[in-house]
Structure 1
Amino acid sequence: MLKATFSAASYATFRPSYTPKIFSTILSYHQGPKSLLLDLGCGHGPMTRELSPSFTSVLGTDPSAVMVAQARSSTPPKFSNITYKQMTAEDLSGIEDGAVDMVVAGQAAHWFDYSKVWPELKKKVRTGGTLAFVGYKDNIFVDYPEATKVLDHYFYGSDTLGPFWEQPGRNILRNKLRAIVPPPEDWEDVQRVEYEPGTKGRGSGEGTLLMHKKLKLGEMEGYARTSSSYHNWMAAHNEQKAKKDGGPGDIIDEMFEKMLEVEPEWKAQGERWRDFEVYTEWGSAILLARKK
C-alpha cells in the first residue's frame, strides 16, 4: 500500500535508469517469438517502454492505480503497442494461458507472493518463454567511502531508518534476489547476473556492473526521500518536516549534514553542495529463467 506522502512523479524523477547492459542481457537470453511481453509491477513504465520495440505487444501491470496513471502520462504516443492495466502479479486471469513470451519485473519481484505468482506464471508463460526479474538495492558513493558509511548507517541503523523498511522485501533486495527461486519442475537454465559495489573507485566492486549514474547531491537527497522506509518513518515522525518544506529538518537532512561533515570536498561547496556531482553504483541483480 502506497503511503499518502508518496509521489509517483518524484519516484519517476529520482529513481535510477535501467542501463543498456540490463536490456541487452535480458534480450540476448530470450529465444523464440516476441509477440507479448508482460511487465509485472511496471511502476511508471521505464522497463515497459525500453523493451517495447522488441515485442509486438506489451502489457504493463501494476497493483497501484497511481502508478498506472503515472505510466500512462509518462508514455509518449509513439509507444502505441503498450497497454497499461491495474493488475497484481498474483492474479493474471485477464491474460490468455500460454500467451506470454517474456515476463519481466523491475524493482518489484521482492514484493510478490510466490505461492500465487509461480502457479500463475506456469499457466501464462509459453513453453520456452523467458523470465527476467531485475532488482537493485543501495547506491554507493564509490569514490567517497566515509559518506557511504554514513549512508549505510542512516538507511539500516536500528535507531534510524532500519526498522522502517518493509520486510521481507528489503532483505530480498539486499541479498540480490537470491531468495527468489524458480520451481525447478517448471523452469530451467536459471542464471543470475549480480553486482556488489566497492568503495575504491569505479568498477571496484564484484560481478557485472549493471547500474551506475552521476548524480548531483541534491538529486541523491530527492532519491533518498522516495524510499519506503523514509515514508514509513515520516508517518511516525510527522512533526519533523524537511527543511525544504519549512520544517526543522528530517532524518534525510540529518544524514546529509553528517555526510558533509565527513567529506571535506562536499562541505567545501558551501550552500551549493546540492549541485556537487558524484558517481554512484548500485548493488543489483538480474534473475533469468526459461519455462520448461
Structure 2
Amino acid sequence: MESVNQKQRIVITGASGQLGQELKVLLEHDAEKECFFLDRKQLPLDQIMIIQDILGMYQPDLIIHAGAYTAVDQAESESDLADLVNHLATEEIAQYCRLHGTQLIAISTDYVFDGNSCAALTEDAPVSPINVYGETKLKGEQAIQKWYPEAIIIRTSWVYSTFGKNFVKTMLRLLSERDSISVINDQIGSPTSAADLAKAIVHIVDGESWQGGVYHYSNEGEISWYDFAVAIRDLKGLECEINAIPTTAYPTPAKRPNYSLLNKTKIKETFGVEVPFWKDSLKKQLES
C-alpha cells in the first residue's frame, strides 16, 4: 500500500540555467517534494538516445523541463544542435511522460511569434518564428502536443535573474563602465523575472487543478529594451547616457520579433497565478 506521506518526485531539467536555479531556491528544502536538479552533465539533452533511460532512473511524478539551447544568435549557425536540444530532446521527454503517466511542465518562448502583432499575444495567436531558435522551440511545443497533450507549456519572454547571463547583468556592467551606450527602442515586450516565473510554476504544481495546454507568462507592462535599460540605470542611480536606436542600427545573426508582448489572462484565470508589474520585480532584484 502506498504511503500517504510519500513525497512527490520532481525532475527539473536545465538546473544550471536562470529558471532552474530559481526553482532550486524554492524547491530544494520543500519537505513534501523530492527534487532532482539535472544539468547538462546529468541529463545531456544533445544525446537523445539516453534521455528516457536517465529519466527512468529517477521515476519522477513530474518533470519541469526548463533545459534548452538558448544561444539565439549562435543557433543560426548551429541549427542541428539547437534542433536536437529544443525539439528532439523535448520529444523524448514528452514520450517518456506519456509512457509513464508523468506530469510535464515545459518552458517555451515568445520567439515562436513573428513580431508583427500590435496587440498582446494570446496563446492561440498564429505562430511563425523568424529565427532558428524560435523554430526549434516551436517544434518542441508541437512534439509535446502530439505525444502528451496533457502537458502544460509556458511561453515566456526576456528572462532575467540574479543567476546566469542576462540583459540586466549586462546593462549593470556596461552602465558602470561607460559614459554612454545605445539600446534598441523598437522591440516591444515585457521582461520576466525568473524568480517570479519559478513562483508561478510552483503555484501550479501545488494547486488542486491540472489543466494541460499552452500558457503565457511574463511580468505585467509593455516596454522596449531601451525603457528596460533606462529603468535599470535609474533604479541603481547610475550616470551613463543611454541612446535609443532602431533594430536596423544593431544587426544580429538572428532576427528578433519587433512585438512579442504576451497576454497573461489565461494563466491568471486558470491557475490564479499572480503576475507582478515588471518594474516592481526589477526593483526587488536590484535591491537584493
Name the TM-score class by shorter chain. Answer: 0.3 to 0.5
Q: Taking structure 2 as the reference length, what is the TM-score of the superposition? A: 0.35
TM-score (norm 1): 0.35
